[in-house]
Structure 1
Amino acid sequence: MRKNLFFILLFLFSITSAFAQYTPFYQYTLLAPEVMDEIIGESSGETAINHVFEMVGYQRNRPASEYGSAYFREGKYVLDKLNEYGIAGAEIERFDGGKTWDGIKGELWEVEPGKIKLADYKDIALSLAEGSKPTDVTAELVWVEEGLKSDFEGLDVKGKIVVTSATVSRVHNTAIEKGALGVVAFGSSRELTAPLAIPASGIRGENATFGFYLTPREGYKLRDRLIHGEKIKVHAVVESQMLPYDLQVPTCVIPGSDPDAGEVILSAHIFEGYTKQGANDNVSGGAAILEVARIINQLVADGRIPQPKRSIRFIWVPEFSGTIPWVSAHADIMEQTLCNINLDMVGLHLKSNNSFFSLMRTTFGNPHYINDVMENYFVYMGEANREILANRSNKRIANQIIAPSGTDDAFYYQIEQHYGSSDHEVFNNWTTHVPGVMLITWPDMYYHTSQDTPDKLDATQMKRAAVIAAAGAYNIASADEEMAGSIATTSFSYGSKRMGIELGRALDELKYTDAESFETTCKKVKVYLEATCKNELATLQSVTELATDSKILATQLETLSASTKQLFEANSVVLDNQIELTASKLGLEVPSYKLTKLEKEASEFIPVPSEKIKVGAFRVEGAVRNLPKAIQEKYPYTNIASTTELCALINGKNSALDIKKMLDTQHKEVSDLQSVLNYCGLLKEAGLLN
């Protein structure tokens, strides 16, 4: 049997290798070439990047007239464009936002020994720290280095304004406790690459006074003067107010032909607070999905592509703060939603920033074919837009997709493990369980700074982002029985590659084990194969929703699932053989892998979510922090790699032991099994588990 499995492994590896990467002369997409040609041809990088210029041409003082029941500039622009494009159901939904800080004026002048303006809110909006309160003071500056408590020792800062190379937020509270009036800062994590960039920062609390930011270049000049003993006095003036505001969510839908077939949702944030107004990190994703909405709507209206079976919905949100109430208010839509495609920062010129356009996959808690559909278009964009050496005597670049005013760079991309910190997390949360992926350019040396401006973007990158998002969304929205089968085989192909990667990881970790850690390492690396296989099987089954009554698809999925299990068994043969060789080298016996008492208990405990898990109740698991101290002490937990992922893995099927294995496979940190059980105990005490 072991010999047969070895040959199965060789056979499957030869097949999956062919599918896992493109040959030099053959690039393909799930959508038919004629549909892709229409999407590529209709897409406009110039239109997308012009949206950015219109919404955030520069960072400015947002006028008070935009708050309250009025429209924020960005949201009104999106709504006007949707109406111009004739897209159905265009509206702005509103949710209560409470009150927010609004800057009016902020000036910092040196008045002794010279008369020099150091900072002005009108020049650079981020030069005034968000949360600064009204003030009008003249005071001496004092240098406090990084603003650590030890840096204040022996310094008299009472009635003075401190200057620091750290951030305003880090130094402010300590400075005020010591009697300082306010803070001038020039801290930046990217001062060598972006010496003129001011980071977005703020101050909070009842004791908040004011803070000004200088660029690192100007900050170091001021520091040197103070270090050399120069007495400098400044005049600081701040005018600000707190204003009520609404959370505004522009939205529209391209209706599908079958109202009961479900939806695909594209999301992007156009606000991240209302002071920071970045081009890449704030509105590039929103500009891209606005172009996606135009592309698909136009192509369908012209009859150039068929109306999709499923609806495609678009939402432009305040990051997290708007997504959470919108999802919560639309539980009915969430029940019908197949998946979410979230575009965060997508327009950066990749080459000049050493950046990649990355697809952040879902976790094992949300296994879904959306990962593989989107990967298909990422890979196509990468392969079709680079010069391939093997093709040098023929067509060197298969299908160059560029904007007329953009670069003609290759497409630098990565398919990466899940990362949160954007709106797809609201969809992925266990209260909603709508699988969501994120598209993002990273790294970005300018994000969250005053230099996140439209000149850093590339029209070609905006076009490519729009093409990928439009193709992925339309692919799923229009999928029939035959396309569902193609998606399933694509998931199997990419899944086989992922299983091979985990085998390679397991074999490599095994190389570095010693006699003391041998048994633990063996158990750990075998888990990598087991957990990954479970995730791939669940991913294949997720395709069922595209053709629920199809016997053909059901049979196809049975075959692919059986092949996945065979591949797991074949990989296990290879790993077990290496374990035997390693045991022999170390003079040890192969471990028995018998479950411990705790593991047996965990394998028999299958947590089931309760009715209290309502759609949109984002981070409801935070309720465990409000449990009585006695209960928390009864169920102590440490070393859980991610409680968010732990909760997402609670589906009424996974045992507590399964959950630990899946956590360990996805994270560097090993989760403690007793802690996993204890955390489930806390969730049950909070009424979140049956």
Structure 2
Amino acid sequence: MISPRMGLWLRGRLSGEPNRSIFGTGQPQKPEKIVLHAIVDSEFAPQPWMEMIEYVIEGSEIHDQDIVLTAHLQEEKFSANDDGSGCMNLLEIARALTHLIETGKLPRPRRDIRFWWTTEIASEYRYFADHPEEREQILVNINQDMVGANQSQDSRVQHITRTPYSLPSFLSDVVESITELVILGNSAFLSVRQAQHIARGTNFSRPILSRLGTRDRYNAMVVPYFDSTDHLVFCDSIIGIPGVTLTNWPDEYIHSSDDDLWNIDATQLKRNAFIVAASALAIANAGDGDIPRLAAEVYGRACERIGRDGRTALHLIESSSPQGRVEAYKTARSLIHQAVIREQKAVRSIAVLATGGQHGPLLDQFAQSLGEQERKWTNLLDEFYRQVSGGAAPPSPVLTDRERRLAERVPRKIGTVGEYLQAVRRIRPVAALHPIMRFEILNFVDGRNSYLDIFRAVQAESLSVGEYYYGHVSLDAVEEFLNHAVEAGAIAVGEGK
């Protein structure tokens, strides 16, 4: 078995693509003919199979808001990191928590914690197709896929995702907060050393180290949503459960015979296990007394994110040509509006953890405050537009004839979970759209959002994160993809909201 890097190199030689490796020239090369001799040893299984193993730590009070932790089992013989690391971490978290609870060192969590070892993605889709009622039973998902990589090899970074913009949730901020604690506590800072706040024998202030592991820093970052592993099933809007994943990337050894124990670091396993276990316990135990703390965390981070989107909105106007400034202004206004909608939903998602109603006004107050930020940013964008346009007044938000037509087309999903998932497979892709943007277009289909609303939502998501990450989103591409979804029988369209 060859590595992905070798495969890309061979593909480049065959196609004549420029060699962009570290030693490459970046110039087109002459296509080559490559002759291979291969002996294939294969067999056909008598019938398809699928794995799904579950272990449950029962909660003491709440049994309809489960925390589900996942990792997948089905990879090939050499799969130490992908995803033997996730499976073993999941097993160790289950073992450790069970032992601590049974010995009285840790109180039983209020909510159930479920551990799933699966056939990646397929098991979860099959499970929810067979048991659609389980969608109401599960509160959040945290997935582990490649969490043991020795980070000194191949410049690996531990990525921790947020939920997609179609599914804002307190889960993202809980996991991000705990992740930041581990990153900062396991990175070296000169000022921390000068303050003598480092632990003896390390360069870290709050080290998490394994006796048999490295003493490397924790090279990790929280990133916008990506898919390609189990949490995507939960984030699919037909399921509608907030999910995040811990997945290292890049990994040149993935799906190759080099994905073996020699590149596993017990220290990184331990750090990632800590993040998952701490996040799961924090959510499993959350109650009314935790609502103010969670609200402060989510609201504070929401303000930061809106601020970043505001900066992008200003640059959209500033960098536009005089001919394109009106459209840039409309896009900037839409970006801020979508940001506020997203963050208001994130704040209000906390309400699901409350057993009483005393903190409802607090969450409403925070959501209202975010709405006031939209008004402030709109006024700022108006004034900024005048400044860069020589005093010209900003355009009024009037829809074009095409936008009015698309605002009247309101799609909704049709069929059972299983029928919908089958129909989605039949949707013809639109090459101009990033696969995750196609996923998000369907996620924003809720029977209330129009074609125009969906375009504005995914366009804002791409601009907020960066087109380098999600690609460019155009109205033409969104309309075309939604029409393809109608043809495939995944959605139906009504007129008017």
TM-score by length of 2: 0.84
Residue 374 of structure 1: which of 168, 172, 175 is its match?
175
Partner of 1:569: 375
Indicate yes or no: 2:160 matched with 1:365.
no
Cα distance in structure 2, aligned partners of 1:254 and 1:356:
31
Assess if the C-alpha contact under 8 Å between 1:657 and 1:673 holds in 2. no
Cα distance in 1, alignment partners of residues 419 and 174 from structure 2? 26
Partner amino acid, structure 1, of 2:89: A
Q: Which moved more, 1:537-546 or 1:601-610?
A: 601-610
* CA drift at 1:656: 2.9
Shift of the 651–453 alpha-carbon distance from structure 1 to 2, 3 Å rule, reads: same
Instruction: Tell me whether 1:395 sits opposite 2:193 in the alignment.
Output: no
3-state SS of paired residue (1:283) = helix
Does structure 2 conserve the Cα–Cα contact (< 8 Å) formed by 1:331 and 1:616? no
Amino acid at match of 2:411: P
Change (3 A) 1:300 1:573: farther
**Alpha-carbon distance between aligned partners in 2 of 1:283 and 1:233, rounded to the nearest angstrom:** 31
What code does the residue aligned with 1:310 have?
R
1:257 aligns with 2:95: no
Higher-strand-fraction structure: 1
Match of residue 489 from structure 1: 296
1:620-659 alignment runs, 5 A limit? 620-624=423-427, 639-640=432-433, 642-659=437-454
Q: Distance in 2 between matches of 1:589 and 1:678?
A: 36
* 2:152 aligned residue: 351
CA spacing shift, 1:680–1:340, aligned 2, 3 Å: farther
Structure 2 counterpart of 1:289, which letter?
A: L
Match for residue 212 of structure 1? Answer: none
Q: Structure 1 residue 617: deviation in Å?
A: 5.0
Q: Which residue does 1:594 correspond to in 2?
A: 398
Q: Does 1:320 align with 2:121?
A: yes
1:303 has 2:109 as partner: no
Q: Does 1:663 align with 2:470?
A: no
CA distance in 2, matches of 1:425, 1:270: 17
Distance 1:458 1:567 in 2: 45
Whichever residue aligns with residue 251 of structure 1, its letter is E
Distance 2:36 2:318 in 1: 64
Aligned counterpart, 1:531? 338
Q: Distance in 2 between matches of 1:417 and 1:484?
A: 25
Are the structure 2 counterparts of residues 336 and 672 from structure 1 closer, same or farther at C-alpha, using a change threshold of 3 Å? same
Distance in 2, matches of 1:580 and 1:457, equals 57
Please tell me whether the aligned partners of residues 350 and 356 of structure 1 are also in contact (alpha carbons under 8 angstroms). Answer: yes
Q: Which has the higher helix share?
A: 2
Shift of 1:303: 2.0
CA 390–127 in structure 1, closer or farther in 2 if over 3 Å, else same: closer
Q: Does 1:688 align with 2:494?
A: no
The 1:531–1:673 alpha-carbon spacing in structure 2 relative to 1, beyond 3 Å, is farther
Residues 1:442 and 1:294: Cα distance change in structure 2 (over 3 Å): same
Do 2:112 and 2:284's aligned partners in 1 also have CA atoms closer than 8 Å?
yes
Distance 1:433 1:456 in 2: 36
Shift of 1:381: 0.6
The whole-number CA distance in structure 1 between the counterparts of 2:12 and 2:327 is 44
The 5 Å alignment of 1:32-431 reads 126=1, 165-166=10-11, 239-244=41-46, 246-272=49-75, 275=76, 277-391=78-192, 392-396=194-198, 397-431=204-238
Checking the alignment, whether the CA contact within 8 Å between 2:288 and 2:355 is kept in structure 1 is no
Number of the residue aligned with 1:221:
none
Equivalent residues in 2 for 1:609-624, closer than 5 Å = 609-610=413-414, 612-614=415-417, 618=421, 620-624=423-427
**Pairing 1:479–2:286 present:** yes
**Separation in structure 1 between the aligned mates of residue 446 and residue 134 of structure 2, nearest angstrom:** 21
SS of match in other structure, 1:299: helix
- For 1:262 and 1:616, the matched residues in 2 are separated by 26
Instruction: Check whether the contact 1:278–1:453 (CA below 8 A) recurs between aligned residues.
Output: yes
**1:663–1:671 Cα contact (<8 Å) kept:** no
Q: Is the 8 A contact 1:327 1:616 kept in 2?
A: no
Closer, same or farther in 2 for the Cα pair 1:619/1:304, shift >3 Å?
farther
Q: Distance in 1 between matches of 2:407 and 2:426?
A: 26
236-245 or 404-413, which deviates more: 236-245
Shift of 1:265: 0.7
Residues 191, 569 of structure 1: CA spacing in aligned structure 2 closer, same or farther, 3 A cutoff?
A: closer
Distance 1:540 1:496, change over 3 A: same
Alpha-carbon distance change, 233 to 439 in structure 1, aligned in 2, over 3 angstroms: closer
Structure 2: distance between partners of 1:395 and 1:525: 44
Partners of 1:252 and 1:315 within 8 A in 2: yes
Structure 1 652/545 Cα, relative in aligned 2: closer, same or farther at 3 Å?
A: farther
Unaligned runs of 5+ in 2: 24-31, 199-203
Measured against aligned partners, the alpha-carbon deviations of 1:411-448 in whole angstroms (never above 9, x if no partner) come to 22211111111111111112211111111111122222
Deviation digits for residues 634-689 of structure 1 (CA, Å, limit 9, x no counterpart): xx978555332111112234333221111001223123168438726853882634
Q: Report if the CA contact (8 A) 1:285-1:343 is conserved.
A: yes
Deviation at 1:604, TM superposition (A): 4.7
Q: Distance in 2 between matches of 1:282 and 1:303?
A: 32
- The correspondence of residues 462-477 of structure 1 with structure 2, limited to 5 A, is 462-477=269-284
- Which residue is equivalent to 1:578? 384
Structure 1 partner of 2:411 = 607
Shift of 1:599: 2.4
Are the aligned partners of 1:267 and 1:343 in contact in 2 as well (CA < 8 Å)? yes
The residue identity in structure 2 corresponding to 1:294 is R
For 2:27, the equivalent position in structure 1 comes to none
Cα separation, partners in 2 of 1:685 and 1:454, compared to 1, 3 Å: closer
Q: How far apart in 1 are the matches of 2:256 and 2:153? A: 17
Structure 2 SS opposite 1:241: coil
Q: Which amino acid in the other structure matches residue 648 of structure 1?
A: N
Code of the residue aligned with 1:578 in structure 2: it is: F
Deviations 1:519-566 (A, max 9, x none): 111111222111111111111111111115422x21110111011112
RMSD of aligned alpha carbons: 3.3
Find the residue that maps to 2:81 and give its secondary structure.
Answer: coil
Shift of 1:306: 1.8
Relative distance call for 1:342 and 1:374 in structure 2 (3 A) is same
Distance in 2 (CA, whole Å) between partners of 1:645 and 1:348 is 30
Describe the shift of the 1:351–1:653 C-alpha distance in structure 2 as closer, same or farther (beyond 3 A): farther
Pick closer, same or farther for the CA change 1:533–1:405 going to 2, 3 Å. Answer: same
Question: 8 Å contact 2:424–2:485 — kept in the other structure?
Answer: no
Distance 1:616 1:317 in 2: 22
Cα–Cα, structure 1 residues 422 and 167, in superposed 2: closer, same or farther, change >3 Å? Answer: farther
Q: How does 1:435-474 map to 2 (within 5 A)?
A: 435-474=242-281
Contact 2:64 2:138 in 1 (8 A): no
Say how many residue pairs are matched: 463
Q: Find the aligned partners of 2:209 and 2:419 in 1 and give their Cα distance.
A: 39
Please name the residue that 1:13 is paired with: none
For the pair shown, the structure with the greater C-alpha radius of gyration is 1
CA 1:316–1:472 in 2, change beyond 3 Å: closer, same or farther?
A: same
The answer to whether the 8 A contact 1:377-1:468 is kept is: yes
SS at match of 1:311: strand
Other structure's SS at 1:482 match: helix
Relative to 1, partners in 2 of residues 1:435 and 1:660: Cα closer, same or farther, differing over 3 Å? same
Check conservation: 1:357, 1:442, Cα contact below 8 A.
Answer: yes
Identity fraction in percent: 26
Task: Report the alpha carbon displacement of residue 388 of structure 1 after superposing the two structures with TM.
Answer: 3.1
- CA distance in structure 2 between the aligned counterparts of 1:191 and 1:580, rounded to whole angstroms: 46
In 1, distance between residues paired with 2:229 and 2:165?
A: 18
SS of the aligned residue for 1:517 comes to helix
